[in-house]
Every structure is written in structure tokens, then in C-alpha cells.
Chain A
Amino acid sequence: MSEEKQCQCAEIQEEELYPRLEEVINQHKGKGEDLIMVLHKAQNLFGYLPRRAQEMVAEGLNVSLNEVYGVITFYNFFSTVPQGRNSVKVCLGTACYVRGSQEVLDKAQKELGIKVGGTTEDRRYSLDVVRCIGACGLAPAMLVNEDVYGRVKSPHLVDILKKYE
């Protein structure tokens, strides 16, 4: 899966967003108390908070980068990794867990080469866990974008993932 040639367009688009972040920051210049608000805007802009954006916010609002990162890691809303084009979520709710969803998750991490919360380098997939998606009858269940998959066995996983570009 990782042999594919990487698409650079995500990075190129990202590059164009920095001037817009600069504008946002300029409206809050030196105002450390606006940190969460500015991070929120930055996150909406990029879909996540790249390190360069964090450094710009720290510099512009006159807040330590170490504090900026502390705030980012405190709130679930913020993410320091970009979201992939497809979001894969493995259910670890009780029903799924007792039916072996941990094994599915382990397999997914191995296949994608990322940890929970991570995104593949080609930004094709992000991996997360959820607690019960209301499909307990189909446990173990997982979600890819809006699609629910039930009775997932780890050998099926690769076939499911392949369907999403």
C-alpha cells in the first residue's frame, strides 16, 4: 500500500493557507488570551495543526510553543496530524471488544503502519477508535467514512480498505 507514488497536492494546498493564517494571527497579535480561539481557526483552516502553524501562533500571540502544544494536546478537538481522505474507525465498545475488535485494530495499525490517531503518509487513511456505533448486533464493527462494516474479521480488513482511494 505504501509503494504508491505520493501525491504532493495536499502539501501544495497547505502552503497556500499560511498567508491566511498570518491574517488571523495579525488580528490577535500579542494576545495570549486568544490562544484557543486562534488555534480553533487554524484547525478549521488546515484541518489539523501543522508544526509550522503552531510556531506561527506561538510567535504571533507571544505564547511559548510549549504552552501552545500543551493546549493542543489537552483538547480532543485539536489534532497535530492531518486527517486522511478516508477515516477508519474501529469500534472498541464492549460488545465489539469481547468479539475481538482489538485484533481488528491491531491488524489495521499493522496494515496501515500507523497508530491510533495517526494518518498514513500519503494521507489516504486516518485511524481512530470509537466507543459503540450502535451496531452491536454486528460486532465487531468498524466504520470507514460513513460506511458501517459488521462481523469484521482481520483477514477481510485489507479488502475493505482497498475500496477507498
Chain B
Amino acid sequence: MMISLTIDGRPIEVEEGATILEAAKVANVHIPTLCYLPEVQAIGACRVCLVEIEGNRTLQAACVSPVAKGQVIHTNTDRVRKARRFSVEMLLSNHPFECLSCAKNLHCELQSLAYDLGIREIRFTGAKSGGRIDESSPSIRRDQNKCILCRRCVTVCQEIQSVTALFTQGRGFDARVEPAFDRDINDVACTNCGQCSIVCPVGAITEKEYIDDVWEAINDPTKFVVVQDAPAVRAALGEEFGYPPGTLVTGKMLAAARKLGFDRVFDTNFAADLTILEEGTELLKRVKEGGVLPMITSCSPGWIKFIEHFYPELLDHLSTCKSPHMMLGALTKTYFAKKAGVDPKDIVVVSVMPCTAKKFECNRPEMYDSGYKDVDYVLTTREFAKMIKQAGIDFENLPDENYDDPMGEYTGAATIFGATGGVMEAALRTAYEVATGRILENVEFTAVRGLEGIKEAMVPVEGLGDVRVAVSHGLGNARKLLDRIKNGEANYHFIEIMACPGGCVGGGGQPIPVTNEIRILRAQALYNEDAHLKYRKSHDNPSIKKIYEEFLGQPLGERSHHLLHTHYTPRSKF
């Protein structure tokens, strides 16, 4: 039922049950918020979104107050402005003012609120809460001194990711966001997905930065520094430079990488195509030889850590394929090193990823198959943008450039890896042709696209019968799927699981904010690119054919097994 009310003198109609905040949006009225997180959390905690309702003595928090018929709401009275400002002043009273050196400087919601609300002096100074800095994780850094207890991280970690690595501990002045027993985040069951770092409005949770290490490698004349970037990066990096979400900036990104001083730019997409050949062959083998099914994808390291902690008994279901950037790292220090005549000990591989979990992944002891650390550093999309800014590069006016050989060529199948369902679609394109020996005419498997939490499809493949597949994104959905497997309710052959909602386009290292609307736009950019590429099936990639001829032999062959596959470690759920 629609009900009518007035906001700032403007009569509007909204659905009953809507909040005042939602109604204001309809009326094009901006109400500032802080603890509110669209699609995830409305708890009315911070009191920044206060509004005045005629006939009501107290101000109401717009994010949690439902509209009522005939309400007359004011969002911009003197009283409202003062109250909002007071709420923010209270938050600032125990805040460390480190904006100039804070990782969130200019991207901080608290900072911009203080500015927007006209706070020009700090009227209240209370005791500082004395939180700690937790740098234990290779993926995320937590500075509890800056935490404003908005709980956004807790809600995302619990409700979207079903991990609950963080929780509000204690209360009152003692309240803090920590794991149990105030342990370090690296010592508990955290997946390193970084979703908390996306939603934290301040600098209390950020990615662990490796920018300085990368600069150092670039500046070292004895090092040969190779950079690679994942598909989701090119669909989002532009946002850091003012482009609308969904703008592909591949060419400029590569030009920027060269200007930064990288010696080669390879494409993680190349390795994504390789993954399809390895993983597709593995799947066909398991189906034919009665191996463990359903087989589950392994390219999302947040997901890998999740299953290691929470479902170690299902580890056999994982494909043994490394994630694409790890494959590319191992190949750079073997195949490429030899080809280019560079000593692998002098090569430094930097991966630019939409992901914080890959920072942990590249430090796993299993990831030294080239004889060296296969990938030396992982930077997030956000960190890469920071480097470009530090170098003073005029991003907008860069020419478009291309990837370097021999690991720069890619197909449309690889580029859609960045969106949920993309790996599945890419795998189906190849598996179909390999299994049937026939050309697949319609390569678009739209049933596995989009933001539905769990997607299912059935693909008839001659000689194999109906191949049943499922796709999920966000670890909460992964948990649901795994429970189905455990209870024997799932008879899929193949499952794609991505840790982050929306897949890598919504990864924990991507530009902030990330909403469903933005996830869709970024994914669309990748699907558009796929539609326009000459090659859309991984096995058609000429450079892939070449690397098998020159170096790898065949999928699942001995070299592949050694360099491109891995194993997993059961971990405690505490």
C-alpha cells in the first residue's frame, strides 16, 4: 500500500514500511548516515541521520524509522543540524586525529561528515579508548583507535560472509571490535576476504599495504619487476580517477603500469584461460573416472580459507588448481624467465588484484613451486590507484597500451572470471567442446549470470549426459551450498564459489563504495568486453596453445601438476 507524507515541504508517496531514509531518497533529499549500510545494516546506532517529525518531541533516526501516513518531516532545521553535528562531535571526542597519515584520508566517511556538518573545532575531548593496532594478518590491518563502533564490519562478516571473525566485545567505554579473547585476527578463523575493509567507514580496517615494498623493488636496478592484473581490476580502477562505475580502463591501466616502472605487464586473464584448461580437464577426468564430485572451483583464496576452517572434511571436493595469478607467478619465474633469459631470482612478481585474500595466499608455504616465491606482492585495486597518484600520473590523458607477450593474450572466457558465474560459464564453453568435439554455437550461459545468491543450471553434453552446475557468491551462500552437499541433497557435478558478493568485481580490495548497482555495472563491463573479443573460449587462445606446446605439455601433465596445482590445509574453526 502506498502512503503519502511530506518531506521538506515536498509531498511524496512511498510504499508502507519504507524507512524515512528511503522515502527521502524518493524525494531527492539527502540525509547523512554513518552506521547505516545499504542492503546490509540499519541499526540506528550513530544518530547521524536524525530528522524532525512534526508532533514528535524527539528527533528520530531516519535509517530505522518507518514512515507513517501524513507525516510532516523536516531534515534541515537548525535543531536537526545541531543534533547531527553533536552526534559526530561525540564520535570525534575520542578519535585520534591522524587524517594526514591515515590510509583513509580523503576516503573517510567520518572525515567528510565532519566537513559537511561544519565542525571546525573539537569541543569535547574525552579519554581515548586506547584500542590496539593489529597487524598480524598479511591481508588486513586493524587500527582499533579509529573504530567508531558502527558494527558494519561485524554485520558483513556475520550476515553476508557467515564467518563472524569479529564481534563487539565488552560494553560501554570498554566496547571494542575484536575476535574472542582479543586474539589477533590472523589467529582466528578469518578468511581474509576484506569485505570488512570495504564497509568500514573510517580507517579502522584497511588492507595491509605493500606499496612501499613494490616501490623498493621498482627502484632496485637489479630487479626485473613484472606486474599482472586481474580482470575485475580494469572494470573498477577507473572509479578511483572519477570514471563512472563500469568503465573499462584496461589500456590506460597498462600505460600507467609502464610509467610506474614495471618491466613487463602480463595479464592474469592469460592464466585464467589456462585455469579453464586445467580445471576443465580435471572435471572431465573426475566425471569419467568416478572422482570426487561435485568438484568445486579453487580460484578464490577467501573461499579456500573458508572451507579449510569450516568444512575441512570437504577439501577433496576442491579442484587442485591454483588461483590464476599464482599460476602466472610460477610461470613467470620458470617459462618466461627462461624465454627472456632473466635469472628468476631477480624477478619480482606483483599482482594487482581486487582482493585482499590473495595477499595471504601468496605467502602460503605451498606457493614456492618455481623454486622462488611465485608471487612476491599483492596490491589491491585501491593500492594500485594510490601508486598512480603518488607518481603524479595524469591517468585520464594516458594513451591506451597493450599487454606484453608471451602471457598477455586472453579470451572473453577469461575476462568474465571477474564476475560471479564467469568461471562456470568459461568452463562450460571449453568442457562442452572438449567433451563433444563439436563447436558450441551459443557461448552465453545466461543462467549463471547475475546477482542471485545461488544459481543453478543443467547443460546437456553429448557423451556425458546432463551436467548439473551451481554457482554461489558471498560466503553465506557458500555455506548453504556446502550444507546441501554434506546432507547429500546436492547432486551437482561442478560448483563455482566466490568469497565476495558479486564475485571479484565486488572483491575486498576494490574501490569503495561497493553496492549491488555498482557490482552489476562492473560485471556488465566485463560481459561487454567478452562479447566483442575475437576469441571467447579459453582453448582457442593462441598463446595458451603455444605454452602447452613449448613448455607445459598437456593439461594435468607433469609440469602443470608441479607448477599449476596445489593442496589444502585443514584448519580450526576457532
List the interface of chain A (C-beta within 8 A of B).
Answer: 51, 54-55, 58-59, 63-70, 73-74
A64 nearest CB neighbor, chain B only? B164
Of A54, A55, A59, A70, the residue contacting B167 (CB under 8 A) is A70
Bound-state CA distance A67–B157 (Å) is 11
Once the chains bind, are B170 and A66 in contact (CB under 8 Å)? no
Once the chains bind, are A55 and B171 in contact (CB under 8 Å)? no
Once the chains bind, are A67 and B181 in contact (CB under 8 Å)? no
A71 nearest CB neighbor, chain B only? B167
Once the chains bind, are B574 and A55 in contact (CB under 8 Å)? yes
Once the chains bind, are B170 and A64 in contact (CB under 8 Å)? no
Of B158, B169, B171, B178, the residue contacting A64 (CB under 8 A) is B158
Bound-state CA distance A66–B174 (Å) is 16
Of A64, A73, A74, the residue contacting B163 (CB under 8 A) is A64
- Distance (Å) between the CB of A45 and the closest chain B CB? 20
Q: Does B64 have its Cβ within 8 Å of any Cβ on chain A? A: no
- Distance (Å) between the CB of B573 and the closest chain A CB? 8
Measured between beta carbons, the chain A residues less than 8 angstroms from B574 are 55, 58, 65
Once the chains bind, are B163 and A70 in contact (CB under 8 Å)? no
> Lowest 5 CB-CB distances: which A-B pairs, in order?
A64-B164, A69-B180, A70-B167, A66-B167, A73-B170
Interface residues of B in 178-193 (CB under 8 A from A): 178-181, 188-189
Chain B interface helix/strand/loop/mixed:
loop
Once the chains bind, are A67 and B170 in contact (CB under 8 Å)? no
A69 nearest CB neighbor, chain B only? B180
A63 nearest CB neighbor, chain B only? B164
Of B168, B178, B188, the residue contacting A74 (CB under 8 A) is B168
Bound-state CA distance A67–B189 (Å) is 12
Q: Does B92 have its Cβ within 8 Å of any Cβ on chain A? A: no
Interface residues of B in 187-237 (CB under 8 A from A): 188-189
Bound-state CA distance A51–B183 (Å) is 13
In the complex, the number of residue pairs spanning A and B with C-beta atoms less than 8 Å apart equals 45
Please name 13 further chain A to chain B contacts, defined as beta carbons within 8 Å, in addition to the given A69-B167, A74-B171, sorted by A numbering: A55-B574, A59-B573, A65-B180, A65-B188, A66-B167, A66-B178, A67-B158, A67-B167, A69-B169, A70-B169, A70-B180, A73-B171, A74-B170
Once the chains bind, are B166 and A66 in contact (CB under 8 Å)? yes
Measured between beta carbons, the chain A residues less than 8 angstroms from B180 are 54, 65-66, 68-70
Given contacts A55-B574, A58-B574, contact A64 B167 (CB under 8 A): yes
List the interface of chain B (C-beta within 8 A of A).
Answer: 158, 163-171, 174, 178-181, 188-189, 573-574
Measured between beta carbons, the chain B residues less than 8 angstroms from A59 are 573
Measured between beta carbons, the chain B residues less than 8 angstroms from A51 are 181
Measured between beta carbons, the chain B residues less than 8 angstroms from A67 are 158, 164, 167
Once the chains bind, are A73 and B158 in contact (CB under 8 Å)? no
Once the chains bind, are B188 and A66 in contact (CB under 8 Å)? yes
Indicate the member of A59, A63, A65, A66 with the most B CB atoms within 10 Å: A66
- Distance (Å) between the CB of A52 and the closest chain B CB? 11
- Distance (Å) between the CB of B546 and the closest chain A CB? 48
Measured between beta carbons, the chain A residues less than 8 angstroms from B174 are 73
- Distance (Å) between the CB of B193 and the closest chain A CB? 15
Measured between beta carbons, the chain A residues less than 8 angstroms from B168 are 70, 74
Bound-state CA distance A65–B164 (Å) is 8
Bound-state CA distance A143–B290 (Å) is 72
Could you jot down 5 A-B contacts, CB within 8 Å?
A55-B574, A64-B189, A65-B188, A66-B164, A69-B169
Measured between beta carbons, the chain A residues less than 8 angstroms from B171 are 73-74
Measured between beta carbons, the chain B residues less than 8 angstroms from A58 are 574
Bound-state CA distance A163–B173 (Å) is 36
A75 nearest CB neighbor, chain B only? B171
- Distance (Å) between the CB of B486 and the closest chain A CB? 13
Measured between beta carbons, the chain B residues less than 8 angstroms from A73 are 169-171, 174
Bound-state CA distance A87–B262 (Å) is 66
Measured between beta carbons, the chain A residues less than 8 angstroms from B178 are 66
Indicate the member of B163, B180, B188 with the most A CB atoms within 10 Å: B180
